[in-house]
Chains A and B, each alone.
Chain A
Amino acid sequence: MKVESNLKRVLDAGHFSVTAECGPPRGADPDVVRKKAAYVKDNVDACNVTDNQTSVVRMSSLAGCLLIKELGIDPLIQMVVRDRNRIALQSDLLGASALGVRNLLCLSGDHQKFGDDPQAKNVFDIDSMQLIHLAKTMRDEGVFPSGDKLQGAPDFYIGCAVNPFADPFEIRVPRLKLKMEAGADFVQTQCIYNMEKFKTYMEGAKQQGLHEKIKILAGVTPLKSAGMAKFMRRMVAGMDIPDEVVNRIADEPKEKQAAKGIEMCIEQIQELKEMEGIAGIHVMAIEWEEKLNEIIGGAGLLPRPVID
């Protein structure tokens, strides 16, 4: 029987979906993944497994996907074009599909300069836009880009990422449209803190009817402390955290900042839930997976729908 993406089924059934992410460990210990997955399970419709994020070497995304799949979570494989040429990308797409991974997120990948191997050679044979196109061609046409027929087409619910806050702002919506046209079924956004700017972005997307053609999952990250907010604002490229957000958490005494961060995240999810064109949320609780249940439950999004 054909296995389908759980995330796709939930979205197709018209539910507000929830995804989260799970960063694989800096080592071969599978229990690290299993422990994180236990916090994720039953709180999400699918879970991203990151691909050497910030160019720091970690257990492979595919291995992480299989580990969480064993525990009954619908895995979402992140794939960056930084480390693999089109030969390796195609091969990994086939392998991931064969092993039952049904969700894919196509990314460029942070430059290797940020990781622990800044002297590595980067690949960028095709870019993330073209990876979307590649996956769609293989899935829908059953052929390699070379034109040769596949012995079994890979089956993916194809996703992309956008950063509504990066520059230049005016091409952010055209870029989403381009990704949609390349073949993306859904999009997960960079963490949103600047809701006003995000609304402007969504207005632009809605004007072009993009929200009806691509499922938009709004990204959120709960802040653990005012220090984390300031650090992210300073260190992460394209991270837009307005002063009022930082001040709101900074005004709390240190020991209450984490609780405040969760409260703010829940409020934000509730606001996003009411926005037209938002099909779901993507909760990136960075090294804070144990709070997923509290956040997602707090936002009134539990239990997750089960679709047969």
Chain B
Amino acid sequence: MITGTPKPIEEILEMIEPYDDIIVAGCHGCVTVCRVGGEKEVQVLASTLRLAREASGRKIEIKEVSLERQCDPEYVETMRPYVEDHQAVLSIACGAGIQFLAEKFTATPLLPGINTGFLGVTERQGEWAERCQGCGDCVLHLTGGICPVTRCAKSLFHGPCGGSVRGICEVDKEVKCGWQLIIDRLVALDQMENYGKLKPYKGWNSARDGGPRRIIREDMI
């Protein structure tokens, strides 16, 4: 899923300072699962903002909505009838959702209520970790199902570097060395022959470096 963290309330209060009537918009997708932008978080954030604003002497009207997904046009369109009745939309969906609202509702300022994180997994309740950078050219079949681009702090294709000590990355003692994980897994799968080969230079053009990406599936259009 796409993960995220709430923006500090002070930062949000500063963002909404010019407005007296806004929409707080959540999303039932990834951000609900990682508990940062679902229906509950909309209620809590809206209440918090109303309380803070009223206590400071300037009330704010807040409409609370939660879309099935902010990244799909049919759900986004459900907001159209009332968006312009409000001065701004504070979205707590991921960056993709926020931007999709912004491009659909051009007359209304869109404000981000969360900091979008990464493509990750829930390791345990309350803890998420990155697994994929969406580089557009997957090599997991060669690396024991563990991504060197994401799990190695240097995205090395021939790791580990000298900074790997007892399975821990030099960058942070809480971070496991991705290449130690890859090697352990290759050994367990008896696939170490994959390690001893020089890999071609990665084509980062399929990653973000090639510019904003687009997928067109002719068979589905």
Contacts and interface: CB of A to CB of B under 8 A. Distances in A.
Contacts of B153: 111
Nearest to B196: A174
A171 interface: yes
A177 B196 contact: yes
Interface stretch (B54-62, B73-81, B157-165): B157-165
Contacts of B201: 86, 125-126, 130, 134, 145
A78 interface: no
Given A86-B201, A124-B155, A126-B201, A166 B162 contact: yes
A166 B164 contact: yes
A198 B167 CA distance: 20
Interface string B9-47: 000000000000000000000000000000000000000
A163 B162 contact: yes
A124 B162 contact: no
* Most chain B CB neighbours (cut-off 10 Å) among A82, A162, A178: A178
Contacts of A122: 154
Contacts of A162: 162
Interface in B146-178: 153-167, 170-172, 177
Interface residues of A, number: 34
A161 B161 CA distance: 10
B162 A237 contact: yes
A102 interface: no
A125 B157 CA distance: 10
A177 B195 CA distance: 11
Interface string B67-92: 00000000000000000000000000
A182 interface: yes
Contacts of B170: 110-111, 114, 237-238
Nearest to B200: A130
A133 B202 CA distance: 13
Interface residues of B, number: 29
B180 A82 contact: no
B215 interface: no
B160 A182 contact: no
A126 B171 contact: no
Contact of B165 (A86, A127, A167, A178): A167
B171 A113 contact: yes
Nearest to B163: A237
B203 to A, nearest CB: 10
Contacts of A174: 195-196
A111 B204 CA distance: 20
A181 interface: yes
Contact of A171 (B167, B172, B183, B199): B183
Contacts of B220: none
Nearest to B154: A124
A26 B19 CA distance: 49
A85 to B, nearest CB: 9
Interface string A152-169: 000000000111001110
A60 interface: no
A127 B167 contact: no
Interface in A189-218: 190
* Most chain B CB neighbours (cut-off 10 Å) among A86, A128, A145, A161: A128
Given A108-B154, A108-B161, A168 B202 contact: no
B143 to A, nearest CB: 13
A172 B153 CA distance: 19
A79 interface: no
* Most chain A CB neighbours (cut-off 10 Å) among B165, B177, B202: B165
B189 interface: no
B188 interface: no
B198 interface: yes
B163 A166 contact: yes
Contacts of B172: 113
A167 B160 contact: yes
A279 interface: no
Contacts of A113: 171-172
Interface in A115-167: 122, 124-130, 133-134, 145, 161-163, 166-167
Nearest to A181: B198
* Most chain A CB neighbours (cut-off 10 Å) among B160, B161, B162, B170: B162
* Most chain A CB neighbours (cut-off 10 Å) among B161, B165, B202, B204: B161
Contacts of B156: 108, 124, 127-128
Contact of B180 (A124, A134, A167): A167
Given A182-B198, A237-B165, 6 more contacts: A108-B154, A125-B204, A126-B201, A127-B159, A128-B161, A238-B164
8 contacts: A130-B199, A166-B160, A166-B163, A167-B165, A167-B180, A175-B158, A177-B196, A181-B198
